[in-house]
Amino acid sequence: MSLAEMESYQRSQALLALAEMTERMSANPAQAANYVVAGTIGTGDTRPANCTTIVPGPTRDLCEWSNQLKGASETNSGARVGGSLGAVGCITQIQAINPALGVCSAGIYQVSVAWQGMNITQAPAAGLACGAGSYGADERYRRVIAARVTVGTTSCY
């Protein structure tokens, strides 16, 4: 497999992981704030490999996302090979929901996936801090994609 093919594969795996979490958050808007965690999820975290005993909701979703980022979707001789190299995810709150009359602002969350690229490219933009410093001293190896999830409020009149 060429480096270009590997870069493409890693990006597609990261895009799948990003879409998975944004869909989970969008499907559970009342719990959106419970998806925000300090630090990163995925490679290097201590979440269990089996999430089936965790009650459905944000904690289970984060556990399953962690396993997806770690490459659990595909295995080869027991090794996880279905993810991006060193993949981690981050969920941050950009704006808290405020249903107060006259304010009525939506909650805004940023979901990011970072991984180590195979070649030096351009370092990610300043607003994409997920995985910063995780892939050596040269940030030009770090790849990051992000999407925003907006949670509206129905209580504003």
Q: How confident is the model at residue 47, as a pLDDT?
A: 95
Residue by residue, DSSP assigns 8-24 as HHHHHHHHHHHHHHHHH
* Residue 18 pLDDT exceeds 70: yes
Q: How confident is the model at residue 50, as a pLDDT?
A: 94
Say how many C-beta atoms besides its own lie within 10 A of residue 132's C-beta: 16
Q: How confident is the model at residue 82, as a pLDDT?
A: 62
Q: What is the mean pLDDT of residues 9-19?
A: 93
* Residue 37 pLDDT exceeds 70: yes
CB 43 within 8 A of CB 86: yes
Q: How far is CA 31 from the centre of its chain?
A: 16
């925003």: which residue's tokens? 148
* Residue 155 pLDDT exceeds 80: no
* Mean pLDDT over each residue of the chain, to the nearest integer: 89
Q: What is the mean pLDDT of residues 103-123?
A: 92
Q: What is the mean pLDDT of residues 78-91?
A: 81
Q: What predicted TM-score, i.e. pTM, was given to this entire model?
A: 0.90
Band (pLDDT 50/70/90 cuts) for residue 78 is: low
């709150």: which residue's tokens? 93
Band (pLDDT 50/70/90 cuts) for residue 76 is: low
